[in-house]
Amino acid sequence: MDMSRRYLVWSLSYAALGMALGIYMAASHNHGQLVTHAHVLMVGFVLSLVYGIIHRLWLDAPRRAVAMTQFVLHQLAAVALLAGLFMLYGGKAGEETLEPLLGIGSVGVLAGMLLMLYMVLRPGRARSAEPGAPDQAAA
Ligand code: HEM
Ligand code: HEM
């Protein structure tokens, strides 16, 4: 499976999960998980979709190991952050207990973003999304 499709599958799965949580919040009239809902949809659905689109439009044959590291890093960090938020706002554990998980998750999501920036900036590997534009990688 290519990287953009892999991101798309994860993105849509987060969308389903986030919407289910949103429907649960609306139906139960308990908006306690609002922050979790917002981040499942933003860090999970939206950011994974954006990364998938970047792969599709701007990255031409990025180094496989780097691309896979960036993907796994983003997903592991997102799952850690979202699980941490879910437990925090569900009152399942205290802030002191969850802080390491939330800290690792947050920094991991940021590191994933920086690694994506590196792949986009890497000379000769990013291509213009404009139709007909010369492909730098081929040059
Ligand atoms: C089945 C669809 C959805 C349902 C039933 C739903 C439900 C909700 C509910 C009940 C809240 C809490 C509102 C409040 O207490 O102020 C909320 C907040 C939020 N939702 Fe959704 N939502 C859905 C889809 C989405 C989608 C697709 C996104 C983004 C891509 C999204 C992003 C947000 C954000 C960012 C907030 C927080 C807003 C704030 O800070 O006040 N939601 N949603
Ligand atoms: C490193 C990853 C991130 C961390 C650690 C983080 C942390 C936070 C925190 C602490 C809040 C305040 C929650 C509160 O009201 O108590 C917040 C709110 C919010 N964040 Fe993030 N965030 C991250 C990524 C993102 C991204 C990538 C987006 C959008 C693309 C986003 C969208 C929002 C929105 C819409 C709110 C307001 C809704 C809410 O109150 O939950 N966040 N975030």
Entry field: residues in the chain: 139
**Per residue in 11-23, pLDDT tens?**
999 999 999 999 9
The Å distance, Cα 93 to ligand 2 centre, comes to 20
Whether 131 shows a pLDDT value over 70: the answer reads no
- For the chain, the structural domain boundaries read 3-126
Whether 9 shows a pLDDT value over 60: the answer reads yes
**Per residue in 75-111, pLDDT tens?**
999 999 999 999 999 999 999 999 999 999 999 999 9
Nearest to 77 by CA among 122, 10, 30: 10
Which residue puts its alpha carbon closest to atom 21 of ligand 1? 22
Q: Could you tell which of 31, 39, 48, 53 is best to mutate to test the pocket of ligand 2, judged by most ligand atoms within 8 Å of the CB?
A: 39
The Å distance, Cα 19 to ligand 2 centre, comes to 17
Which DSSP string corresponds to 85-126?
A: HHHHHTTSS-HHHHHHHHHHHHHHHHHHHHHHHHHHHSTTTB
